[in-house]
């Protein structure tokens, strides 16, 4: 990814900080978020990820080939103290490690031996109850369309 042109700090502060809630430890972006929950804004004719703007303006350039990891795991946080430039491998390892510690799926079902599906050849896991529920809904939708 190519370095982005950063506006002067005063313009950056006006555009970004005025749209950020800095009352807590995380500086939460109040503007647009993409489908994955990352903060973005429109600048220089392009959509820009705000956490990258924040890092480059307040910490320094992002090394070529590096990604910005949210140490707080809050995707729309733009606090440079919560951002670290890391290799893609480290970024994936950190996210995998965080997911490995989860004991329940987002719907509250336990990740235990009986309720955990592991796709062949992958380290990912899925909740069997949720997976079966989705399959049932799809079967009913397909069957009901006849």
Can you give the residue ranges of every domain in the chain? 9-144
Instruction: Write the pLDDT tens digit of every residue in 22-45.
Output: 999 999 999 999 988 999 987 777
* pLDDT (0 to 100) of residue 106: 83
Beta strands in the chain (DSSP E): 20-21, 28-29, 40-43, 46-49, 67-70, 83-86, 116-117, 126-127
| Average pLDDT estimate for 8-21 | 75
What confidence tier does 21 reach under pLDDT thresholds 50, 70, 90? Answer: very high
Query: What pLDDT digit, counting tens, does each position of 71-99 carry?
Result: 998 999 999 999 999 999 998 888 766 67
Report the predicted TM-score, pTM, of the whole model to 2 decimal places.
Answer: 0.62
Nearest C-alpha neighbor of 54 from the set 109, 86, 16: 16
Give 142's pLDDT tier (boundaries 50, 70, 90).
Answer: confident
Where residue 131 falls (left for φ over 0; alpha for ψ -120 to 50; beta otherwise) is alpha
């Amino acid at each position: 990814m190519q370095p982005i042109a950063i506006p002067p700090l005063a313009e950056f502060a006006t555009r970004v900080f005025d749209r950020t809630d800095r009352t807590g430890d995380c500086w939460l972006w109040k503007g647009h978020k993409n489908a994955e929950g990352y903060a973005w804004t429109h600048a220089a004719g392009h959509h820009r990820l705000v956490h990258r703007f924040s890092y480059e303006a307040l910490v320094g350039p992002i090394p070529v080939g590096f990604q910005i990891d949210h140490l707080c795991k809050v995707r729309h946080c733009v606090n440079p103290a919560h951002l670290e430039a890391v290799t893609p491998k480290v970024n994936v390892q950190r996210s995998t490690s965080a997911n490995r510690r989860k004991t329940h799926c987002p719907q509250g079902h336990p990740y235990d031996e009986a309720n955990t599906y592991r796709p062949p050849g992958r380290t990912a896991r899925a909740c069997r109850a949720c997976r079966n529920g989705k399959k049932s809904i799809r079967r009913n939708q397909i069957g009901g369309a006849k």
